[in-house]
Amino acid sequence: MARESVFSRKRKEKGKDWLKVTNPNELIKMSESILSDIAYGNLSSNEDKWTMVDPIVQNAILSFASERVKNLYYLANSMHEHRAKSTEQENVLNSVLFENIMKSYDAYNCVVSCLNGYLQTQNPTYMINMYAKLSELKNYICPGRFI
């Protein structure tokens, strides 16, 4: 059985109108759990789906994912510079780490581009693409990875 979604937990904790009493910073802090719920298919109720298309939620996730993309970009660049000075043994480990960083970058960059596209056009294809990409890269958006 899938775990309860972060949206369902908030509804139980704060009531049906939990989103109205939740500040944007709290939503930003919840963003990684929300993305994890998407990746693992835990946003299954209609209430969860409607909450996900709320612009307040989407902007919080967009803010979180944009910051994560920026941090992963800097991390990847520093890894690339470090790889040039590394020994062969270090390069094997660095290559694996670099590959994981780039997959995380791809996942969060997809979130940013899909949410921007959806917010501008309201075309559901953007959300479908984001859900599919996160499902594919679910191991790279788990809480506490890399940054």
* Residues composing the chain: 147
Query: Which of 5, 57, 53 has its CA nearest to residue 33?
Result: 5
What is the domain extent for residue 41?
A: 8-139
91 occurs within a structural domain: yes
131 occurs within a structural domain: yes
What's the CA gap between 37 and 22, in Å, rounded?
19
> Vertex 3, ends 70 and 114: CA angle to 5°?
35
pLDDT tens digit sequence for 75-104: 988 887 777 777 777 777 788 888 889 999
Average pLDDT, the chain: 89
2 occurs within a structural domain: no
pLDDT tens digit sequence for 9-54: 999 999 999 999 999 999 999 999 999 999 999 987 889 999 999 9
80 occurs within a structural domain: yes
